[in-house]
Structure 1
Amino acid sequence: MSNAVEIPFATTLLVRDTCLCLHAQRAARALARLFDEALRPVGLTNGQFSLMMSLNRPEPPPMGPVAKLLAMDQTTLTAALKPLQRKGWVDITTNPRDRRGRLLSLTAEGKAVLAAAVPIWESTHKALEDALPDGNGHRLRQDLLALA
C-alpha cells in the first residue's frame, strides 16, 4: 500500500507561472544561448567573455576577487580558466606578495580576442535591450542586482 503524497496539478501550474527562480533560470539560459551564438565567430562563449572581461584591469587581479565578481567558487574559476590558458589567452602567475596566491591576466592574444568580441557584445546587447519594454534594461538590471 502506497502512502505517496499527491501534489495537485494546480500547484505545478502555480510554480510554473510564478516561480522567480524558474523564470530567472529560463531567462539566463536563453541569454546564454543568444550570446554564445553571437560570440562563436571569435571562439568565445558568453561565460568566457565575462571571465576575460573581468580580467581586463590595469593590474592583474587575484583569483578571490574575480571569483566573487563572477559569483563562483575558486575551484570553478580554476576550471573555467584552463581552456583560456590552453588557448594562450590568459596567464596565471604566482602573486609575488603572497606566493600561495595566483594573479590572473590577459595575454596580448587574449586582449585581441576580447577586443574583437566587444563590438559583437555591444550590438547583441543593444538588440536585446531594444527588445525590452521601454527599450532599455535599467529596471531589469536594478531588479537583478537587488536579488544578487
Structure 2
Amino acid sequence: MNFLPSLRNLVSAYQAFERYSAPDLKAMGLTMTQFDVIATLGNQPPMTCKELGEKTLVTKGTLTGVLERLEAKGILERKTNPEDARSQMIGLTEDGQLLFEKVFPAHLKHLDKAFQKLDTEQLKNLQESLNLIKNIF
C-alpha cells in the first residue's frame, strides 16, 4: 500500500485548492459547484442534464439542487429537448451569460496568482501526473 502517501497528498492538494478558490467565489455570491455549472454552460449551446453532469465535477444528486437554485435566480433555464421530450436542455439565460462573462475571467485571474508560482515544466509534470492518476481508474 505504498500509494497511501500519494493519496494523502492528492486529497490535501485538493483541499488546499478549495481553501484558496472558494472564498473568491463566495465573494462573488457563488459556491464552487455553482461556478462549475456556470463555467461549463458559458459560451456553449444548451446541453442535457446528462451532458452537463459528464462535463462538470458535480454528482447527479447534487446537480439537481444546484440547477433548481440557479434557475430560481434566473441564471439558467431549462427547455424540453426537441430531440427527446423525456429530457431537458439546460442553458444560461442572458443574465446567466453576463454573470459568466464577469465571474469566469475574474476567478481565472485569482487562480492564476497561485499557479504562477509553478514554471512551465512543473505545470506540464503536474498535468501528466494527474492524467496518470485519472487513467488508472
Which residue does 2:46 correspond to in 1?
Answer: 60
2:87, 2:77 → 1: CA distance? 14
Shift of 1:79: 2.2
Q: Residue 33 of structure 1: which of 13, 19, 29 is its match?
A: 19
Residue deviations 1:49-69 (CA, integer Å, cap 9, x gap): 121111124421111122112
- Asked whether the 8 Å contact 1:90–1:106 carries over to 2, the reply is yes
Given the two structures, how large is their TM-score scaled by the length of structure 2?
0.81
Secondary structure of 1:19's counterpart equals helix
Residue correspondence of structure 1 range 56-135 to structure 2 within 5 A: 56-132=42-118, 134=119
1:137, 1:118 → 2: CA distance? 21
Secondary structure of 2:30's counterpart equals coil
Secondary structure of 1:131's counterpart equals coil
Shift of 1:89: 0.7
1:146, 1:80 → 2: CA distance? 30
Which residue does 1:7 correspond to in 2?
Answer: none
Shift of 1:73: 3.8
Change (3 A) 1:71 1:121: closer
2:71, 2:63 → 1: CA distance? 12
Amino acid at match of 1:55: L
Which residue does 2:127 correspond to in 1?
Answer: 141
- 1:24 aligned onto 2:5: no
Kindly report the root-mean-square deviation, in angstroms, between the aligned alpha carbons of the 2 structures: 2.3
Q: Residue 46 of structure 1: which of 26, 32, 41 is its match?
A: 32
- Between structure 1 and structure 2, the one with the greater Rg is 1
- Asked whether the 8 Å contact 1:94–1:101 carries over to 2, the reply is yes
**Unaligned ranges ≥5, structure 1:** 1-10
